[in-house]
Structure 1
Amino acid sequence: MSDEADATVSAIIAKWRAGFARLDAAALSSLYSKNAFFFGSNPKLYRGRDGVADYFNGLPRWRQPSAVFSEVNAAQAGPDLINIAATISFNFAGERPDLVVKMSWVIIREDGDWKIVNHHASSQTPLI
């Protein structure tokens, strides 16, 4: 992957983690495309930045949430497209059990900036 793609992925992850630590729906939704599809921790499909903000505004107001990304795999699938798969470990400082999910993002260049256009979280526990 190119240095630009590595830098893009690292920057988005850093902004996402910072926004999640504050449960800042506006900051988080600004990282997403106006055409985003978002599957988070519940079965509902959220669409666009408003949908992403609705998702994050609907979460419990944990005092110290954190998210750690590991096993980050990224591939530049085209000049304006980056595909990402990672594991995210969520810690809630004892307010609820920790949570580990598989995450995939598709990032596109939109209006000169990189935005997440597809966000899909899934259980790490095998379903079959």
Structure 2
Amino acid sequence: MPEQADAIVSAIIAKWCAGFARLDAMALASLYSKNAFFFGSNPSLYRGRDGVAAYFNGLPNWRAPSAVFSEVRVALAGPDILNMAAIVSFDLAGERPPLQVKISWVIIREDGDWKIVNHHASSREPLI
């Protein structure tokens, strides 16, 4: 299952990056569980697909956003649970300085598909 876990996470990352490039809140929200917890770039906790969509709909309307995942680590945490950690580099085409964050996802099998149930982003810069 480890190779399969990597493939599952790679497919989600590809869909996530494609949705982010279009700032398509509904496409992004579809990658998340109906019970998702989502901590993004602001202090608010967003819940469920509607919360995820609200977060992405609240972002500035950048002209050409892109996200690149690196240092991706995947671990099988159970038969239907994957754990993922990565660095995400955001390029917002000069509309703000490039941004790098640490991100972690817990991904579960839900209704026969793999969905992100927990999303947490934090500063890559030391806080302490």
SS in 1 for 2:93: coil
SS in 1 for 2:10: helix
Q: Counterparts of 1:106 and 1:36 in 2: how far apart (Å)?
A: 9
> Which whole-Å deviations, capped at 9, do the CAs of 1:9-65 have from their partners, x for residues lacking one?
010000000000000000000000000000000000000000000000000000100
Q: Counterparts of 1:79 and 1:65 in 2: how far apart (Å)?
A: 35
Q: Give the aligned CA root-mean-square deviation in angstroms.
A: 0.7
More displaced, 3-12 or 50-59? Answer: 3-12
Deviation at 1:3, TM superposition (A): 2.2
Counterpart of 1:112?
112
Counterpart of 2:42?
42
1:16 and 2:9 aligned: no
**Quick one: which amino acid aligns to residue 120 of structure 2?**
H
5+ residue gaps, structure 2, are: none
Deviation at 1:2, TM superposition (A): 2.0
- Structure 2 length as normaliser, TM-score? 0.98
SS in 2 for 1:101: strand
- Structure 1 length as normaliser, TM-score? 0.98
Structure 1 segments (4+ residues) deviating >3 Å:
none
In the TM superposition, 1:1-128 aligns within 5 A as: 2-128=2-128
**Quick one: which amino acid aligns to residue 64 of structure 1?**
A
Q: Counterparts of 1:56 and 1:83 in 2: how far apart (Å)?
A: 23
SS in 2 for 1:4: helix
